[in-house]
Amino acid sequence: MKQSQFQRQHQSEWEAFAKTLDALERGKQSSAISIAGFPAAYRRICQQLALAQARGYSAQAVNDLQSLAQRGHQQLYRHRSPLLGRLLGFILGGFGRLIRQEWRYIAAASLLFYGSLLGMTVLVLIFPELIYSLVSPDQVAQMEDMYDPDASRLGRFGERGSSDDWMMFSYYVMHNIGIAFQTFAGGLLFGAGSVFYLLFNGLIIGAIAGHLTGIGYHEPFWSFVIGHGAFELTAITLAGAAGLKLGAALIAPGRLRRTDALRLAARQAVRLIAGATLMLLIAAFVEAYWSSMTYPSALVKYAVGLLLWLMVGLYLLMSGRNDHATE
């Protein structure tokens, strides 16, 4: 069946389902579809989504149905699952499905962030003085002190003991989540803010990495960042992807008004930033209580770091694969 015929056949059903969703989301009753008939209508939407995907219909058609299915799923289980159950469902499956669904924005954010990071690392290795075009001499000296091979704790300015780990954990949470939300909110500037913060943070991290590697501090620096970086760097790209999604809705709203397109995009973007926030909490814990340690050998920390990167990758690729209703 051609896409145009498929859309004409089911358009009225989709509009009725959308009206019911709007009413339920406002906490009201709807005459479009009875509450008793809502589960059956939701199953039909899921079936139609599967057909649209199998037949290779346009991305816009699939995304519209996917949005209806996801909103329907949320309303269907809103009163059946407690908050903890919904949170666990998101962590165990929903987040992974969301990542795979929004892979285009994540790929774009990753290219901007990792491209600028790796590029600046190489440039500073070749031209060491380039570090001072991005980082002040005082900050460079502070970074050298934090990653001095003779330091008792890595990533800390001055000599702080293990009793200060909880203070550093709080600092990392506030600092990293602040960067993530800044990158996310920048999407409201038609995506330009998200692009800027992805590039800016990539350049700064790359400049520091290149400088510390060039002066021989590569072992303490890289053994420090490899562990929590699996969560922290991934979360930054997810925050950037969420911002880029908002920006894309403002730049190309399609047939919708910009406010409506932004509202629809925000449903997914907010879930992305929520998942990124959870990853940043994990990153802060690892950074405060593991990354800063100096008694494990660098080889052990590299091994643990690679294992964490592998776990994050497998989680994002495989979690939620058994539930295809909304993927």
Cβ neighbors of 114 (< 8 A, separation 6 or more) are 202, 233, 237
Q: Are 133 and 276 in contact (CB under 8 A)?
A: no
Band (94; pLDDT cuts 50, 70, 90): confident
User: What is the residue-averaged pLDDT of the chain?
Assistant: 88
pLDDT digits (tens, 9 = 90+) for 228-261: 999 999 999 999 999 999 999 999 998 888 998 9
pLDDT digits (tens, 9 = 90+) for 279-288: 999 999 999 9
Cβ neighbors of 14 (< 8 A, separation 6 or more) are 45, 64, 65, 68
**Three-state DSSP state, 135:** coil
Q: Are 224 and 291 in contact (CB under 8 A)?
A: yes
User: How would DSSP label each residue in 66-134?
Assistant: HHHHHHHHHHHHHTTS-HHHHHHHIIIIIHHHHHHHTHHHHHHHHHHHHHHHHHHHHHHHHSGGGGGGT
The pair of three-digit structure tokens given for residue 51, joined into one six-digit string: 């057909």
| Residue 156 predicted with pLDDT over 80 | no
User: How would DSSP label each residue in 4-23?
Assistant: HHHHHHHHHHHHHHHHHHHH
In one-letter notation, the amino acid at residue 304 is: V
Q: Quote the radius of gyration of the chain (alpha carbons, Å).
A: 23
| pTM assigned to the model | 0.74
CA 30 to CA 156: how far, in whole Å? 57
pLDDT digits (tens, 9 = 90+) for 17-73: 888 888 877 766 555 556 667 788 888 999 898 888 888 888 888 888 989 888 888
pLDDT digits (tens, 9 = 90+) for 109-127: 999 999 999 999 999 999 9
